[in-house]
């Protein structure tokens, strides 16, 4: 069964919202809240760096490459292939630390699973769209430099 891309994106967004609320938990009045805030800010910085490295015509939340897009290999894309996914995962882990609970642990695991599933689909499509993608894959990690 092929899961529609729009459903993957909707689930991703749902878990981001669930993990981020309430925002008041990010007020750094405890060590977990401060640690979560630091990870959240790191994720936001990576997302902004990645966004500025993309051209407007290349940006999409869908796993399908945009028509007439180009393979971006600058900015964080020199190091990892999916810095936006890395940013979302960092933010999710930061939210979990700030709002630690069993339920939030399940949310962050579900978010990471959805992003990994979406990543696999996206990579199979990018291999078709860009002749140099396989070479790019051999030089970069998917999410974490030198790890995965």
Domain count, the chain: 1
Asked if residue 26 lies in contact with residue 98, where contact means CB atoms within 8 angstroms, the answer is yes
Domain that holds residue 122: 27-61+68-139
- pLDDT digit string (tens) for 100-114? 889 989 999 999 999
CATH code: domain of residue 49: 1.20.120.1630
What is the reported pLDDT for 143?
96
Flag whether pLDDT at 21 surpasses 80. Answer: no
- pLDDT digit string (tens) for 62-87? 889 988 889 999 999 999 999 999 99
What is the reported pLDDT for 24?
65
Flag whether pLDDT at 28 surpasses 80. Answer: no
- Give a yes or no: residue 10 inside a domain: no
Flag whether pLDDT at 148 surpasses 90. Answer: no
Neighbours of 127 (CB within 10 A): 14
Backbone angles phi, psi at 80, to 5 degrees: -135, 150
Q: Which residues of 53-85 are buried (b: 16+ CB within 10 A; e: fewer)?
A: bbeeeeeeeebebeeebebbeeebbeebbbbbb
Q: Of 90, 95, 86, 94, give the one whose Cα is nearest residue 145.
A: 86
Model confidence, pTM: 0.86
């Amino acid at each position: 069964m092929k899961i529609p891309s729009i459903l993957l994106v909707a689930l991703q967004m749902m878990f981001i919202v669930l993990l981020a609320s309430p925002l008041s938990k990010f007020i750094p009045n405890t060590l977990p809240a401060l640690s979560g805030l630091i990870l959240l800010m790191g994720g936001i910085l990576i997302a902004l760096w990645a966004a500025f490295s993309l051209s407007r015509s290349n940006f999409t939340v869908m796993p399908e490459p945009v028509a007439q897009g180009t393979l971006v290999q600058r900015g964080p894309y020199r190091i990892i292939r999916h810095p936006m996914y890395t940013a979302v995962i960092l933010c999710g882990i930061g939210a979990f630390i700030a709002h630690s609970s069993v339920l939030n642990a399940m949310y962050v695991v579900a978010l990471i699973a959805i992003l990994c599933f979406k990543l696999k689909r996206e990579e199979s499509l990018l291999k078709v769209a860009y002749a140099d993608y396989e070479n790019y894959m051999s030089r970069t990690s998917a999410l974490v430099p030198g790890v995965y």
